[in-house]
Amino acid sequence: MKPVEIAKGIYSVGVRDWNIRDFHGYATDQGTTYNAFLIVDEKVALIDTVKNKKQFTQQLIDNIATIIDPKKIDIVISNHTEMDHSGGLPHVMHYIGEDKPLYCSKMGKKNLAKHFSREWNFHAVNNGEELSLGEKTLVFLETRMIHWPDSMFTFAKEDGVLFSSDGFGQHYAGYELFDDEVGDKIMYQAKNYFANILMLYAPRIKKLIKGVVDLGLEIKMICPDHGIIWRKDPAKIINAYNAWCDQTPKRKALVVYDTMWESTEKMAEAIVDGLIEENVITKLMHVRSCHRSDVITEMLDTRAVIMGSPTLNNQMFPSLMDTITYIKGLKPINKIAAAFGSYGWSGEAVKYINKEFEAMKFEIVDPGIRVQYVPTPDDLKNCFQLGAKMGKLVNES
């Protein structure tokens, strides 16, 4: 990624990872970027590094070298320990000098030491602590759990640039650098990122964002460590985060299922017909066709969740359990739910899906529908009615 001066003396020097398609279990069909930023003032500061892959760390150094001699970096700031941002630290510190100060949060100091077993010249900062680079002042803001306990934001006060680490990021690698270049399509990627990376911390994130906004900082630009930079309207992504944190449901239903010999699929389609009859926004997702990370993104603002599985060896299909395990960890809220599924002779799947709904604190509004072998026209009518019932409840709420 060619370095770009994004504000006077502030450069984007990170790298694109065009072809990554699995980011620790999250499907990244648009790749991602590992953003890093160089501030050139009387002192020179590097904010974050890149994923530990030789070609990326070398590209980071090469990018910096087009602006200044990397050895002139005085200070390194690590906003977050996760290896997609700190993986390049050993290479960078070795290159610029192991004794250079490394600024991070208090938890960052502990976590970096554990990850790298190095005695770097750590400067653990307090929330709100300032650091002068000359004409520019940096303010460090503790933002635990956006996305790890060590996470912090760094704010360049005079320029109004917020370096937000994982916050407000998107897994998106494109030719564009800014929100106004990429347009509204980036909002889906930002939502997808929030749902998969940050949703389980939503209540805490809402408070943290309020805390940052209440400081009255004049935020002109938000630079996350993944994806594009928000410069046209930074408030847009802040407002979107507030809404996503609340998980306020739309008039929307999601039918998630697997099928063995198409019986459960026929039931799913009849349920969908019932939902559509009630004019509810409806999405049907087969778990072996749709990645779990896309399912959770759809679920973020869905009111009704209807899950179906045939019974296989007295259990639900393992593919559905895979999706449920992933969803459960991300703690979706505000859901009504029902289950369905076909079976041959025992038929436990609906019971087990309902148990998972209970564990996720979804409100079960119907005991569910079980059909032996192949659904009859009457069975499909029942499924349609279940869809219509769920649709009415969505509309009432």
Residues that bind ligand FEO in the complex, under the rule CB under 6 A: 80, 82, 84-85, 147-148, 166, 225-226
Q: Which is nearer to ligand FEO, 226 or 266 (CB)?
A: 226
**Is the CB of residue 235 less than 8 Å from the CB of residue 168?**
no
Q: Can you give the C-alpha Rg of the chain in angstroms?
A: 24
DSSP state of 117: -
Q: Which is nearer to ligand FEO, 189 or 311 (CB)?
A: 189
- Amino acid present at 260: M
Instruction: List the one residue out of 81, 79, 111 whose CA is nearest residue 224.
Output: 79
List, as one string, the DSSP characters of 270-339.
HHHHHHHHTT-EEEEEETTTS-HHHHHHHHTT-SEEEEE--EETTEE-HHHHHHHHHHHHH---S-EEEE
193 is catalytic: yes
286 is catalytic: no
Element (H, E) at 151: none
Choosing from 17, 41, 48, 82, which is the catalytic residue?
82
The two three-digit tokens of residue 35, written as one number: 């953003």
**Is the CB of residue 331 less than 8 Å from the CB of residue 200?**
yes
- Cβ 83 to ligand FEO shortest distance, Å: 8
Choosing from 85, 91, 226, 291, which is the catalytic residue?
226
Choosing from 11, 34, 172, 193, which is the catalytic residue?
193
Choosing from 22, 24, 42, 180, which is the catalytic residue?
24
Element (H, E) at 25: none
- Cβ 16 to ligand FEO shortest distance, Å: 14
Choosing from 84, 142, 179, 294, which is the catalytic residue?
84
| 7 phi, psi to nearest 5 deg | -155, 170
Choosing from 17, 166, 265, 379, which is the catalytic residue?
166
- C-alpha span between 307 and 7 (Å, rounded): 49
- Cβ 332 to ligand FEO shortest distance, Å: 20
**Is the CB of residue 137 less than 8 Å from the CB of residue 131?**
yes
- C-alpha span between 114 and 109 (Å, rounded): 9
94 is catalytic: no
Contacts of 391 (CB under 8 A, 6+ apart): 253, 274, 275, 276, 277, 278, 279, 280, 304
Q: Which is nearer to ligand FEO, 198 or 307 (CB)?
A: 198
Q: Which is nearer to ligand FEO, 85 or 191 (CB)?
A: 85
Q: Which is nearer to ligand FEO, 146 or 371 (CB)?
A: 146
- Cβ 146 to ligand FEO shortest distance, Å: 9
Location of structure tokens 């910096």: 64
**Is the CB of residue 135 less than 8 Å from the CB of residue 157?**
no
- C-alpha span between 162 and 318 (Å, rounded): 43
Which residue has its beta carbon closest to ligand FEO? 82
- C-alpha span between 378 and 359 (Å, rounded): 31
Choosing from 17, 80, 103, 291, which is the catalytic residue?
80
82 is catalytic: yes
80 is catalytic: yes
24 is catalytic: yes
Q: Which is nearer to ligand FEO, 149 or 347 (CB)?
A: 149
- Cβ 130 to ligand FEO shortest distance, Å: 25
Q: Which is nearer to ligand FEO, 78 or 282 (CB)?
A: 78
- Cβ 140 to ligand FEO shortest distance, Å: 18
- Cβ 20 to ligand FEO shortest distance, Å: 12
- Cβ 13 to ligand FEO shortest distance, Å: 17
3-state SS assignment for residue 230: strand
147 is catalytic: yes
The two three-digit tokens of residue 75, written as one number: 């200070």
171 is catalytic: no
Helical packing angle, 318-330 and 349-359, nearest 10°: 10
Q: Which is nearer to ligand FEO, 23 or 384 (CB)?
A: 23
Residues annotated catalytic, as ranges: 24, 80, 82, 84, 147, 166, 193, 226
